[in-house]
Structure 1
Amino acid sequence: MRIEVVRGDITAQDVDAVVNAANSRMRGGGGVDGAIHRAGGPAVLEDCVRRFPDGLPTGQAGWTTAGNLPARWVIHVVGPDRTAGQTDRSLLTSCYSGALAVADELGARSVAFPLVSAGVYGWPLDDAVAAAVETLRATPTDLELARMVAFGNDAYELLVRSTT
């Protein structure tokens, strides 16, 4: 699998699936989650309610339609909220390995990832990048392309250094 780094908007990525850094309720929110729900339209929320009536636990992954997004699917992952005391790094890495497993189940060949938990959930940026890149490299998958979509220069530069 090739890991590519871009700076931009995850909702505009022309890939088979985009990964959503969701909250455990799976009903939309702020950051990446809010952006994906706004751009994808009501079909994303409707599918979340239908597929995940009780939400998802931290560290887990599941999929829905992508609604109006260029992608076909949204793979929702629930990252650990470090600001709420969730500091177990394995919960963060399981978001990436779980997303890859879901992508393989769907037959996806290209997936765009945000940096899970690196925003309002307070995971340190350098470790968020390391956890993402290490897990993507170590997890067996049929995926051809994992695109890391950086929001901001610091994240972009750290991702580029970590993947070259």
Structure 2
Amino acid sequence: MVNMARNYGFLVCMLIMALDITAGVLGIEAEIAENKVEHLRMWIFECRDPSLQAYKLGLAASVLLGLAHVVGNLLGGCVCVWTEEDLDKASANKQLAVCSLIFSWIILAVGFTMLIIGALSNSKSRKSCGISHHRLLSVGGILYFIHGLFTVAYYVSATAAAREDRSNRSQAAAATSVA
């Protein structure tokens, strides 16, 4: 039973990384597709045709990022720390879970925003002129790789913290029943 749980955890980690890596590659591919369309650039202003392929790839990458984040957070469980004192008293696994959860949310917000802005700039059906949005898709895609690392770290540390909490409760219950 324990080996099956460990294999399950490994599969969850692999799923999260596969989703984030795929989303990252799609973000970079969207940037490549965006750069293939015609554009005229003067200083920070640019006139270019939208790329439907970049829009589709950017949207697909956003969906995969959201899915990876949901999988990691739902299967990792809830690690609740209400005060700084609770955080100081928490085990190393719980502290790591809280830190990696915070960083994964920050990276999710920044990467998702960058990718959505980059994808939406390619969704228009006409030629657009305005401030250049170069590198949003590829930087968003690169952030997805980092998001995968933090989400896996959250999943692993949150499940380890939950296992520690169950062990501590069972030891406390055993000590109470003996006394």
* TM-score of Structure 1 vs Structure 2, range by shorter chain: under 0.3
Q: TM-score, normalised by structure 1?
A: 0.23
Normalising by structure 2, we get a TM-score of 0.22
Question: Which of structures 1 and 2 has the bigger CA Rg?
Answer: 2
Larger relative contact order (Cα-Cα within 8 Å, sequence gap ≥ 6) = 2
The structure that is strand-richer by fraction is 1
